[in-house]
Amino acid sequence: MMEPHVTWVIRERFGVGESPVWDGANERLLWCDIPAGAIHALDIATGARSLWEFGEPVPSLGLARDGKLVVALRNDVILFDPARGTRERVARIEHEKPGMRLNDGKVGPDGAFWVGSMDGEAGDAPAAKLYRVAPDGEVRVIAEGIAISNGLAWNAGATILYHSDSRGSMWLDCWDFDSTTGAVSNRRRLRDNDEASGRPDGGACDLAGNYWSAGPSASRINRFSAMGELLDWVDVPLKLPTMPCFGGADMRTVFVTSLGSGEDGRDGVVQFRVDVPGVPVGVFG
C-alpha cells in the first residue's frame, strides 16, 4: 500500500461526482455531478468556482478546441462553450432499453470522444455499449454486452486503450490502439476485480505505463501494471471514490472525485502527490 499525504480539495456531497478533467490552460479542475446535471470548475490557485447546469444527467466530459468542452448527456454528445453558454449537438445515441444513459467518457489520442453507456437493470443480457464519437458526428460501436461501461484511459504511447465493466464480473480489459485511425484490435482480459479489492470505476494512466483505477467498494485507488498486476494502492478518506485524474503544473497531482456516501465528512474531492506524471488528456477534434 502506498501512503502519500492525501488532502481535501473540497468537502462537499455530490450525487455522483465523476469525470475529473485537468484543464491545464486555465489551471483548473473540472468535474461533473451526474444526477444534478451539472459541471463544476475549480481554479486551484484562487479557489474560485464556476457551475454550469444542463437540466439532465451529465455523466462525463472532456476538453475541446477553442476553450469548449465535449459533454455527454443522457443520449446526446454536445459541444459546450462555457464562455458563451452555447451548446451544439455532435451526435445522438439511442439506447436499447428505457432508463439507460451514457456514462464514463474520455477524449482519446485520436481526437474522438470515447463514451460508454450503462444498463441499470442488466440481468443476464447487459445492453450497454462502448462508442467512439468522431468530431464529425460519426458514431462507431466498439463493444457490446456491457453492464456499466467505465475505466477508459490510454497509455503514454497511445498504443493501448483500457476499459472496464463496473458491474457483473467487474473486469478490466485492454485493446491495441491506433491513434491515427482510432481502430482497436486484440482485445484481452487483464483481470477480474472483486468488491474487496475495489470494483473498477474510473481510470487514468501515468507515463510509466501504469493504470490507476478507482475502487469505490474498497475506498481506494488501485495502481495496476500494464499486464493487470496489482502493484499497490492508496487508501483515501472518500467513502466511494469514482475516478482519479492527473493534473497540476507537473501532472503529478492526482485528483479524485466521489459519489454521495450518506456518511458525514467522506464526500468531495481529494488530492495526493505521486512520483510519476500522468498522461496528458486528449482534446476533442
Active site residues: 201
The rounded distance, in Å, linking the Cα atoms of 44 and 62 is 18
The rounded distance, in Å, linking the Cα atoms of 107 and 193 is 25
Contact 127, 116 (CB under 8 A): no
Cell numbers at residue 185, please?
484490435
Q: Which residues pair with 113 in a beta bridge?
A: 107, 133
Cell numbers at residue 260, please?
454521495
The rounded distance, in Å, linking the Cα atoms of 165 and 103 is 11
Contact 251, 75 (CB under 8 A): no
